[in-house]
C-alpha cells in the first residue's frame, strides 16, 4: 500500500564542505496495519543518491523500517525552465533572429555597393537616334538614383537592427544577472526533474511522523564578527555571525541551522583490515557482485512478440546541395518571412524538401549520430576495469562483444553464434548500486545494470559545487582556521537561506565583554600614543579567523581581521592615535676613554621618556623601547640601570621576535606627567668608529 506524504525542512547542518538536511515526513493518511510504503516526492535532484537515511520516532515501537529507495523522476511534458531562464532564452532567440536579418541586409548592401553602371557609350549619333548617348545617360542616372535610394533604405534598416540588438544585449545582461541571483524555485519550471523516496515500513500501530536526512554538496559558510564598544569603552558586545551560501536546489525556510567545521562523511563504516596468516593460501574474500543470470533475454519474449524486432534505420541519402548553401538559403528565407527559430527550422525543411532534397535537419542529426549508431543504440563503452577473462572472437560481432562485457544483447543478436558469457569481477566503482541504472527493454542493455544514467546529474552537482568555491572577499575558510579540533555553532532562532548561491548573513549569538582600555607607545619609533581595547572571548566556543567590524559609540571605526582565538583567549583591538596622550623622548650622551693607555672609547647614554596626559582619569600606558644590540666582538653594550625597572620584551607572540626590547607599564595621572629613564654604556676600540656616529640613542 503506497501512501503519499508531506514533508518540510526542520534542521540543516552545514559542514566545512556540504550540508546535511533533515526533513519531517508526515503521512498523508493514517497508515494501515502491516507493511506500507510511504512516497515522498519533490526532493532536490542534487541530493546525493546514497545519503538518504530514515529514523522512526520513539512513540512508534510497533513499527520497523524495512527499505529506503530513491529514484529520479523526469516529467514527460511541460517546461523544465523557470521564468528567469525563459526570459534569457527569449532574448537570446530575438538576438539570433536580428543577427540573421542583419546578415542578409548587409549582403544586399554590399551587393548594391559593388554594382557598377555602364551606359555603353558608342560613336557619336544624333540626339533622336535610339542608341544615342542622351537616353542612355538619362537611364543610367535614373538607375543610379534608384540604387542610391535602395542603399539609403538598407543603411537605415541596418542602423535600426544594430540599435535594437544593442538594446537587447543590455536586456540580456540584466536578465542573466537576475537569473544568476534567482532562487532555485525561480530557475526551474513545472517539469523539472526531482527525486522520489520510497520508505517501506512494517509492523502495527500508529506512525505519526518520520525523519528523513540526506546530504547535499553545494553548501558553504564563513564566519564574520561585529564588535560594538559603547559608553566610552566601558562596555562591549561581541556579535558572532556567518555568511551561508548554498545551491542545493531547494530553499531552507524556517529551519534550525547548525554550522560545523568538521568534514561531512557519507560512509562511516569501519575499514576491513586483512589478516596476516602463515600457512596455506586462503581463498579470496567473496564480494557482493553476482554475475548476470542466464536467460535474461527470455524475460523479454512477450515484449518482442508484442512490439516486434526494431528494423534497422534506412540509409540516409546524400544532400542535394552543400550544408552552407542550405543554411544561407534558410537564413535568407527566415529573414524575409520574419520567422522565429521553430518556424525557421520548418521553413528550411520545407524549402529543401520542395527542391527535391532530403530533410536538412535529419541529415545533420544523422551525421552527428553516426559514431553513436556504430556502437548500437543505447550502448556505452565498457570501462577499463571490466576486462573480459575470455575475449570474444572477431566473428561474434558487435553484440557478442557487448554481451561478453555483461552489457546485454538485443533481439537482433544471433544467439546461435554468440559464445557463453564469461564471469568477471568489476571494480569497486561498479559496486555503487545507487549510481547504476537498468537498461531499457528496447535497447541492447536491457535487463542489465549500467553506469551511464547518473553522469549528467553528477556533472550538475559538480557545477553547483564549483559555483561556491570562490570565497567572498575578506573572509577565511573555516577548514583552514579550525585548528586541531572541530566545533559546532548553532544559529539563533529559525533561519531562511535561499538556494541562489549568494551569501546570506545568519546570526549565531552575542556575548557581552568588559573591555580594558590600554595605551601603547613605542618611543624609539614615534611619539604617537595608540589606544587599544583588550577583550576576552565571551563564548564557550573559539572564535575562528574572520573579518570584524568595530563600532565605537555607534560609529564604524575600522574593519579588521582576527585570527583563531580559543575559549578564554583575549583580543586587542586598535582604536587609533589618542591625541590626549603624548610622549617625548630625549637622549643625552657623554663620551670618554677607558682601559690601559686609553685604548677604548666609552659613550654613556641616558634615555629619558616623558609621558603627558590630558585625560580626565589615570591612564595605563604600555611603553616599549629597546637597547642597541651588536654581534661584533670588539663592541660591547652594558646596561647601567633604569627607573622604574623594566621587563624584557621579545614580541614572540607576534611571530617576529626582537632583541634588546624593554617594556614598562606606567600609570599616567589625570592631567599629569610620568617619566621613565634608562641608561647604558657603549664601549668600542678608540681607533674605530661606528658607521653613522658613536651616539646610539
Report the pLDDT value the prediction gives residue 32, as an integer from 0 to 100: 64
- Give bridge partners of residue 516 from the DSSP assignment: 534
Residues 6+ apart with CB under 8 A from 206: 30, 31, 59, 60
Alpha-carbon distance of 559 to 111, in angstroms, equals 64
pLDDT digits 0-9 by tens, 41-58: 888 888 888 889 998 887
63-73 vs 437-438, strand pairing mode: unpaired
Alpha-carbon distance of 175 to 182, in angstroms, equals 10
Report the pLDDT value the prediction gives residue 160, as an integer from 0 to 100: 92
Confidence of residue 425 (pLDDT cuts 50, 70, 90): low
Residue 206, all three cell numbers: 500508529
86-95, 408-417, 565-574: the lowest-pLDDT one: 408-417
Report the pLDDT value the prediction gives residue 481, as an integer from 0 to 100: 84
Q: What is the mean pLDDT of residues 632-652?
A: 84
Alpha-carbon distance of 531 to 265, in angstroms, equals 47
Tell me the percentage of the chain whose pLDDT exceeds 70. 71
CB distance 618 to 667 below 8 Å: yes
Q: What is the mean pLDDT of the chain?
A: 75
Q: What is the mean pLDDT of residues 574-596?
A: 83
Which DSSP string corresponds to 441-488?
A: TTSTTBTSEES-SSHHHHHHHHHHHHTT-SPPTT---HHHHSTTS--E
Structural domains of the chain in order of their starting residue, each with its CATH number: 83-117+135-187 (1.10.287), 297-447 (no CATH), 517-697 (no CATH)
Confidence of residue 128 (pLDDT cuts 50, 70, 90): low
Alpha-carbon distance of 572 to 516, in angstroms, equals 9
Alpha-carbon distance of 11 to 553, in angstroms, equals 37
In the predicted structure, residue 222 carries a pLDDT above the cut 90: yes
Confidence of residue 431 (pLDDT cuts 50, 70, 90): low
Query: What are the φ and ψ backbone dihedral angles of 444, each rounded to 5 degrees?
Result: -70, -15
pLDDT digits 0-9 by tens, 653-680: 777 778 888 888 888 888 888 999 999 8
pLDDT digits 0-9 by tens, 326-385: 344 344 444 444 444 444 444 434 333 333 443 333 333 333 333 333 333 333 344 433
Confidence of residue 22 (pLDDT cuts 50, 70, 90): very high
Coil, strand, or helix at residue 149? Answer: helix
CB distance 41 to 196 below 8 Å: yes
Report the pLDDT value the prediction gives residue 258, as an integer from 0 to 100: 93
Confidence of residue 132 (pLDDT cuts 50, 70, 90): low
CB distance 530 to 519 below 8 Å: yes
Decide: pTM greater than 0.75: no
Report the pLDDT value the prediction gives residue 214, as an integer from 0 to 100: 93
Report the pLDDT value the prediction gives residue 461, as an integer from 0 to 100: 66
Report the pLDDT value the prediction gives residue 243, as an integer from 0 to 100: 92
Confidence of residue 38 (pLDDT cuts 50, 70, 90): confident
Alpha-carbon distance of 165 to 565, in angstroms, equals 56
Which of 421 and 324 is assigned the larger pLDDT? 421
In the predicted structure, residue 135 carries a pLDDT above the cut 80: no
pLDDT digits 0-9 by tens, 149-191: 998 999 999 999 999 999 999 998 888 888 777 766 666 666 6
Which DSSP string corresponds to 286-328?
A: P-S--PPPTTTGGGGHHHHHHH-PPPPPPPPPPPSS-HHHHHH
Report the pLDDT value the prediction gives residue 620, as an integer from 0 to 100: 86
CB distance 382 to 407 below 8 Å: yes
Alpha-carbon distance of 330 to 219, in angstroms, equals 47
Cis peptide before 644 (omega within 30 of 0): yes
In the predicted structure, residue 269 carries a pLDDT above the cut 80: no
Report the pLDDT value the prediction gives residue 289, as an integer from 0 to 100: 65
DSSP state of 81: B
Query: What are the φ and ψ backbone dihedral angles of 421, each rounded to 5 degrees?
Result: -75, 125
Query: What are the φ and ψ backbone dihedral angles of 68, each rounded to 5 degrees?
Result: -130, 120
> By C-alpha distance, which of 625, 647, 518 is closest to 578?
518
Amino acid at each position: 500500500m503506497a501512501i503519499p506524504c508531506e514533508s518540510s525542512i526542520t534542521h540543516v547542518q552545514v559542514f566545512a564542505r556540504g550540508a546535511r538536511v533533515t526533513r519531517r515526513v508526515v503521512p498523508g493518511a493514517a497508515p494501515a496495519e502491516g507493511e506500507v510504503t510511504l512516497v515522498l516526492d519533490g526532493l532536490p535532484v542534487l541530493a546525493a543518491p546514497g545519503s538518504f537515511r530514515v529514523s522512526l520516532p520513539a512513540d512508534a515501537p510497533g513499527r520497523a523500517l524495512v527499505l529506503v529507495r530513491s529514484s529520479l523522476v523526469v516529467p514527460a511534458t511541460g517546461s523544465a525552465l523557470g521564468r528567469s531562464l525563459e526570459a534569457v532564452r527569449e532574448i537570446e532567440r530575438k538576438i539570433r533572429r536580428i543577427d540573421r536579418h542583419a546578415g542578409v541586409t548587409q549582403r544586399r548592401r554590399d551587393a548594391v555597393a559593388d554594382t557598377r553602371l555602364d551606359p555603353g557609350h558608342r560613336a557619336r549619333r544624333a540626339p533622336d537616334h535610339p542608341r544615342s548617348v542622351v537616353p542612355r545617360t538619362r537611364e543610367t542616372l535614373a538607375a543610379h538614383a534608384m540604387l542610391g535610394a535602395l542603399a539609403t533604405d538598407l543603411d537605415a534598416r541596418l542602423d535600426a537592427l544594430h540599435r535594437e540588438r544593442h538594446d537587447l544585449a543590455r536586456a540580456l545582461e540584466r536578465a542573466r544577472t537576475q537569473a544568476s541571483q534567482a532562487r532555485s524555485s525561480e530557475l526551474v519550471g513545472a517539469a523539472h526533474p526531482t527525486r522520489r523516496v520510497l520508505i517501506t515500513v512494517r509492523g502495527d500501530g500508529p506512525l505519526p511522523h518520520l525523519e528523513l536526512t540526506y546530504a547535499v554538496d553545494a553548501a558553504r559558510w564563513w564566519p564574520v564578527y561585529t564588535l560594538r564598544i559603547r559608553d566610552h569603552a566601558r562596555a562591549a558586545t561581541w556579535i558572532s555571525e556567518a555568511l551561508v551560501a548554498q545551491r542545493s536546489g531547494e530553499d531552507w525556510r524556517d529551519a534550525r541551522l547548525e554550522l560545523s567545521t568538521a568534514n561531512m562523511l557519507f560512509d562511516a563504516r569501519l575499514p576491513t583490515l586483512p589478516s596476516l596468516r602463515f600457512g596455506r593460501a586462503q581463498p579470496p574474500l567473496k564480494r557482493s557482485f553476482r554475475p548476470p543470470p542466464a536467460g535474461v533475454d527470455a524475460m523479454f519474449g512477450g515484449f518482442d512478440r508484442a512490439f516486434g524486432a526494431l528494423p534497422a534505420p534506412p540509409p540516409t541519402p546524400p544532400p542535394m546541395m552543400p550544408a552552407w548553401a542550405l543554411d544561407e538559403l534558410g537564413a535568407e528565407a527566415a529573414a524575409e518571412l520574419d520567422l522565429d527559430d521553430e518556424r525557421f527550422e520548418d521553413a528550411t525543411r520545407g524549402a529543401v524538401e520542395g527542391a527535391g532534397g532530403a530533410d536538412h535537419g535529419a541529415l545533420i542529426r544523422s551525421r552527428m549520430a553516426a559514431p553513436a549508431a556504430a556502437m548500437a543504440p543505447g550502448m556505452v563503452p565498457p570501462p577499463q576495469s571490466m576486462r573480459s577473462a575470455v575475449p570474444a572472437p572477431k566473428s561474434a560481432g558487435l553484440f557478442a562483444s557487448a554481451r561478453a562485457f555483461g552489457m546485454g544483447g538485443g533481439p537482433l543478436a544471433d544467439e546461435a553464434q554468440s559464445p557463453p558469457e564469461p564471469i568477471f569481477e568489476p571494480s569497486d566503482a561498479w559496486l555503487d548500486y545507487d549510481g547504476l541504472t537498468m537498461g531499457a527493454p528496447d535497447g541492447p542493455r536491457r535487463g542489465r545494470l549500467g553506469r551511464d544514467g547518473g553522469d549528467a546529474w553528477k556533472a550538475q552537482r559538480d557545477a553547483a559545487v564549483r559555483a561556491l568555491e570562490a570565497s567572498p572577499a575578506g573572509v577565511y575558510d573555516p577548514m583552514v582556521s579550525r585548528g586541531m579540533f572541530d566545533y559546532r555553532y548553532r544559529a539563533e532562532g529559525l533561519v531562511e537561506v535561499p538556494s541562489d548561491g549568494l551569501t546570506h548573513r545568519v546570526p549565531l549569538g552575542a556575548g557581552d565583554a568588559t573591555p580594558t582600555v590600554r595605551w601603547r607607545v613605542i618611543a624609539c619609533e614615534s611619539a604617537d600614543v595608540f589606544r587599544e581595547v583588550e577583550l576576552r572571548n565571551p563564548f564557550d566556543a573559539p572564535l575562528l579567523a574572520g573579518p570584524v567590524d568595530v563600532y565605537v559609540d555607534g560609529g564604524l571605526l575600522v574593519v579588521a581581521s582576527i585570527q583563531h582565538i580559543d575559549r578564554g583567549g583575549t583580543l586587542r583591538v586598535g582604536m587609533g592615535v589618542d591625541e590626549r596622550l603624548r610622549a617625548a623622548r630625549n637622549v643625552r650622551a657623554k663620551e670618554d676613554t677607558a682601559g690601559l693607555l686609553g685604548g677604548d672609547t666609552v659613550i654613556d647614554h641616558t634615555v629619558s621618556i616623558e609621558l603627558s596626559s590630558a585625560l580626565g582619569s589615570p591612564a595605563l600606558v604600555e611603553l616599549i623601547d629597546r637597547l642597541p644590540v651588536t654581534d661584533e666582538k670588539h663592541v660591547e653594550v652594558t646596561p647601567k640601570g633604569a627607573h622604574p625597572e623594566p621587563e624584557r620584551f621579545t614580541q614572540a607572540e607576534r611571530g617576529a621576535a626582537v632583541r634588546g626590547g624593554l617594556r614598562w607599564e606606567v600609570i599616567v595621572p589625570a592631567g599629569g606627567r610620568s617619566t621613565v629613564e634608562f641608561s647604558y654604556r657603549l664601549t668600542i676600540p678608540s681607533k674605530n668608529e661606528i658607521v653613522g656616529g658613536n651616539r646610539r640613542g
